[in-house]
Structures are given as C-alpha cells and as structure tokens.
Structure 1
Amino acid sequence: MIGITMGDPAGVGPEIILKAVAAMSPEERAQTRIFGCLTTLRAAEEAVHSGLDLDSDVAVTDIPVEGAPLPWGQADARGGDAAFRFMQAAVAAALTDEIGCIVTAPLNKAALNAAGHHYDGHTGMLAHLTDTPKAWMILASERLKVVHNSTHVSLRDAIDRATPEALLETIRVGNAHLKRLGYDAPRIAVAGINPHCGEGGLFGTEDDTQVVPAVKAAQAEGIDVAGPVPADTLFHRAYSGEFDLVVAQYHDQGHIPVKLVAFDTAVNVSLGLPIDRTSVDHGTAFDIAGKGIASHENLEKAIAYARKLAAGRGQ
C-alpha cells in the first residue's frame, strides 16, 4: 500500500492526484490511499473530470481543512497547516506499516511557515516527524541520479556543511540506496566545491581539506567512489553512463543538471529515514491551480518509484 499526500490544497496537488489515480489499474488503486481533504478533492474533480467516484474507487483518509475548498492559487496559512496535517497522518500510517511508502504532492513553504510549522520543506518535516537527526534528498531520473550533501541552506552554509564526516555519511547513504535498487557496486562521484576543485589551491582549499578525506575514507570501506571531480564536467560524464550517482555539494549544483535533462520525470526521494518517501520534483504551480491543466506525469513517476521501494521494504 502507498499513501499519497495532497500537499497544499490550493495548489495543483489535488488535480494531479486525481489524474494519476484515474490512470491506475483497479489493482493499483486498491493499493493506494490518499491523505487529504475530500471536499477539496471534489472541487478539483470539477476541474479535471477524471471520472473517479471518490466514495468507492480509491481509499481516502479525509482530513478536513478550514474553509475548504480554499481559493485556488493563493498562499494561505490554512493550506500550509493542512499540508502538515496530511503529512502527519501519512507518517503515522507509514510508521505502523499501514502503508509502505509516502508519495507527496507539492506544498508551499511560505504557507507552511505562516501556519507555524517551521521547516524548509517536506524533507525537514519528515526528519522531525520521524525523530531522525538528518535526512537526505536524492533526485533520481533514468540517466542521472544526484544525492545532495545539503539542500535548503545558503551557499555559505553549504560550504561549511561539507565536512569530511558529513560527506562520508552522504556517500554511505547514497551507496546503500542504490544497492537497494539493485546496483551491486554503485559507481559514485563526488562533485568538487570550487571551480576545477580549487586548481591546487588557487581557487580555494576546501576540496583538498574537506572532500578528499571523505572520499578516501569511503574508499577504505570498499565503496566505489571517486572525487572530487570538477562539477562542470561531472554531470555530463554521469549522464553518459560513467557514474551511477553524483554527490552534489549544494542545492543548485545538483538540481540544475537534473532539471535540465529530466524536468518532467525526475523523482525526489528522501533517504536516511525509517520510512520511505518519494515526491514530485515541482512546486504548487499556483498560477495554473484549479484550471485542470497541470500534468500528472511527474507524479506518476514518483508513484512508480514508490511502488518499487514499497515492494522491497525490509530487503
């Protein structure tokens, strides 16, 4: 069983969920539960005309939202609070093995924080709800997979967080995830922090003092990892098949290449948690919310990845 959280009820989440569920086989629907607001789903159905009977075709854990349906496309603290409560219910179900993986529709970080839930997004929220010290984000597409050592922090903070200890743990987590997906010996490359990995100290020494020790320590553990590798060529090399996974040092270093080559198909996956979670790799798209035109392709990819993880729970 997988659970799909609605995300911000004023965004495109309700619409793409209906489209994705409508495209499922009856067997897949029977293994799917939506965590969201039934009133909002009914309003979204008026826009997308999926043909689903929300009372019988799919299981829904109905979590009421004050004032639902909220106006489409507007950041609202009520929507931010709802997104938190949808996730809270799904996490509880995942921790008790009622569902095998959570798939999240997008939330709005401003609305989330306006509601008093001070997280940098789903990943930080999940870490808190599962009492996990740290979670990692991997963007996974068919030809390029990237795990991030840091994400929603300033560039200055990201460099400080690229310690040998943190990078070693990121390498380990990425290696373990790919092994779970069936890679016998994942080929991993760690991106450099500075241009040309510092060019022997001309452009900074962080690669020599922070990245090299982590790579050597991982190699000593038997992990097939190289680095630091200059980021301006690394992603092309990985996309061409030389590496199975790239360790990115910060948010944009990893997000830009993945969104360039797999904008509609990349899946956001949380690692390091006691539960599994996948997500679309796009936002709430407030500008088109409620119009019934949002594509559900990315959500379908996230659901497919979730089913693969759910099937392998415990392995």
Structure 2
Amino acid sequence: MSNTKKPVVAITIGDPAGIGPEITVDTMMDEKVYQECKPFLIGSVDIVKRAMEVKNCNFAVNKINKPSEGKFQYGTIDILETGEYDCASIEYGKVQELAGKMSYDYVKKSIELGINNEIDVVSTAPIHKEAIKLAGCPQPGHTEIYGELTNSDYALTMFNCHNLKVFFVSRHKALKEACDYATKERVLDCVEQIHNELTGIGLKQPKIAVAALNPHASDNGLFGTEEADNLIPAVKAAQELGINAVGPVPADSIFFLGLKGNYDAILSLYHDQGHIACKTYDFERSITITWGLPFMRSSVDHGTAFDIAGKGIAGSISMIEATLVAVDYWKMKQSALVEQA
C-alpha cells in the first residue's frame, strides 16, 4: 500500500448505540478527508443509514465486500459490513450485548484488513467497555484489542494535541497502582519505543522528556524516592543507549515547556497526568495514536456519549481530527522509508 498517493483508511463506526455512527458519517461528509485519503466505514448499513438520517445526509451508500471495491468519492459512503445483525433492536443510549458484539466485530475486521495489507490506517469511533465485556471481549478496550490481536510487541499510546506528543507508561490503572507501575525498566522500555517510533517518521534524535511523579521532581528526596529509584536511572540508561532523553521534569511545567517546543515528546507516567494537560489545552483535538501496530491506528479520546446519541448534536471535530492526523503520520512514515531506502 505504501506506493499509493493516498492511504486507504478504514473508519470503524463504534458502538451503534452511541454517537459513533453519527460522527463517522460527519467525517465522511467532510471533503478534506477525501482530499487526503481513501476512506470507508466498517459498520452496518442499516445503522449508518439511521445515522445519516440524524445528520440529514443524503449521500449515496455503496456496500462493499472488500476495500478495493470502494469508490472513495465525495458524495458516496462506502460501507463494509461484518455480518447480519438485528439492527432494529439497537436502542440509542443503552448498554446492549448486541451493540458490544457489533462494535467488537467492526474492530476485528479492521485488524484482519490491516494484517492483510488491504488498508493503511484505522480510525476508530468509541466503543463501550461494558458492552464489549457483555459480548465476551476479553480485552478492556481498543488499545489492548489491537495490541493482542495483531501480536504486536507493544501498543504504545500517544496523545496528539497540536504540537504536543504525549506518551504514557500506563493508562487504565488505579493511581496507586500506576505509581508503582512506573519502574525503571518500564520507563526505559517506553523511552526506547518512543525513540524508535519518532525516528521512524523522520525525526532525527528526538528529544524525549520524562515527567516526574512527585512535586518538584521530589526535591532530591524530600517528597518521595521514585525519582531517585526509578526515573533518574531510566533516563541515564536511555542516554547511555544514545537516546536524547531528559528528566525527570516536574509535571507542573513539562507540558508548558512541551508546548513551547522544548521537547519532541513527553512521557507521562499515568493516565490523568497527560490527559488533563492535553484536554485542558484543546479537548476536541486531543486524539489518540497507537504506535507499534502493523498499520497506523488513531481514535477519538472521548466516549460513546449515550446521553446525546441519536440527537444530532454530537461534535465531530475529534473524529475528523483523528482521521486526518493518522493520515499525516502515515505519510511521514512513508517519506521516512523512502529516505532510508
């Protein structure tokens, strides 16, 4: 796929009871998306048509069996189905086992297509963790599903928010557990992975800042020992490997310095440390990229919004941004591969 001018992008519609179908239809109604890539939806035609009614979208629907059958023309929505479901039984705004199964099937289909090199990029609308659990999904969320079902060595989460690239040692863990999780070995692994991924998109010696855990980076042990025990040794070990790592940098200033351009990437130690900074800066344009997979994968970083599903008021900026940013990174990766060849 790397020789194509535009990447082929699969957009999964997410939980059919949530806002996913609406915001993916909105994405397919954005002309810029077609200028940058070849998009199609993975979902159910009946669910998409219902969302089109909500969005007053009169585009044509083209049902396809494989991505190569897509028209990729503005004014037509190409849809690849994953099976037959009782779509009429899906109620907006409710946790339903069938909705969980459908959204899980959409994700699994995108992985199948990605592994078979039929697509370049996957952009995912939100799924509901409780619904996929009811449907028998053993993984807690998107990132774990993609990591495990692609047999990837790692699935590294990055928040992209304007010029901020924020990575995470852990995400969905209790705070007490997350603090213990940020060991020297795990932090060093993350820094190495970040270095590999950013050099893979053409950044030369990217500067990677590791966030501190304690106030003032512990002030030489006054407020905890995690910096001395784990973070400083991890940064030094990375530097010995030739990686341009710095830190630990106090968390109350690291993101401001990142916005100023002092760093190419920031490693956040736990979920809220990085999420609060990005979402405060620009909630709608804080989107997720998952590195380490055999294809580029992005996602919105908001939920299914059951309370407003089907009302036509859900904002689609994040879904469009997630799709376009993933395409940008895919193109950067292709350019870097050409330079290295």
TM normalised by structure 1 equals 0.94
> 2:12 maps to which residue?
5
Between 55-64 and 204-213, the greater mean CA deviation after superposition? 55-64
**One-letter identity of the residue aligned with 2:94:** Q
List per-residue Cα deviations over 1:223-257 (Å, max 9, x = no partner). Answer: 21111111111111111221121100000111110
Aligned length: 315
Distance in 2, matches of 1:24 and 1:181, equals 26
Number of the residue aligned with 2:56: 49
Give, in whole Å, the separation in 2 of the partners of 1:26 and 1:90: 19
Q: Which shows bigger deviation, 110-119 or 51-60?
A: 51-60
Moved more, 246-255 or 177-186: 177-186
Question: In the alignment, what sits opposite 1:107?
Answer: 127
Deviation at 1:132, TM superposition (A): 2.6
Of 37, 55, 60, the match for 2:79: 60
In the alignment, what sits opposite 1:270?
290
Any stretches of 5+ residues in structure 1 without a counterpart? none
RMSD, aligned α-carbons: 1.9
Conserved 8 A contact 2:36-2:324: no
- Report the CA distance shift for 1:210/1:30 in structure 2 as closer, same or farther (over 3 A): closer
CA displacement, residues 236-291 of structure 1 (integer Å, 9 cap, x when unaligned): 11112211211000001111100000211122011122222011121111111111
Shift of 1:160: 2.4
Runs of 4+ in structure 1 off by over 6 angstroms are: none
Which residue, 233, 239, 261 being the options, matches 2:259? 239
1:65 touches 1:82 (CA, 8 Å); kept in 2? no
Per-residue deviation, 1:299:
1.1
Deviation of the 1:125 alpha carbon:
0.9
Amino acid at match of 2:260: S
What is the match of residue 222 of structure 2?
202
* TM-score normalized with structure 2 length: 0.87
CA distance in 1, matches of 2:37, 2:300: 21
- Identical aligned residues as a percent: 34
Mapping of residues 2-151 of structure 1, within 5 Å: 2-24=9-31, 27-28=34-35, 31-55=38-62, 57-64=76-83, 66-69=85-88, 70-151=90-171
Which deviates the most, 65-74 or 144-153? 65-74
Matching residue's letter, 1:143: N
Contact 1:16 / 1:295 at 8 angstroms: preserved in 2? Answer: yes
Distance in structure 2 (CA, Å) of the matches to 1:259 and 1:45? 29
Q: Which amino acid aligns with 1:4?
A: I
Q: Distance in 2 between matches of 1:247 and 1:44?
A: 38
Which residue pairs with 1:280 in the alignment? 300
SS at match of 1:7: coil
What is the rounded CA distance, in whole Å, between the counterparts of 1:309 and 1:169 in structure 2? 22
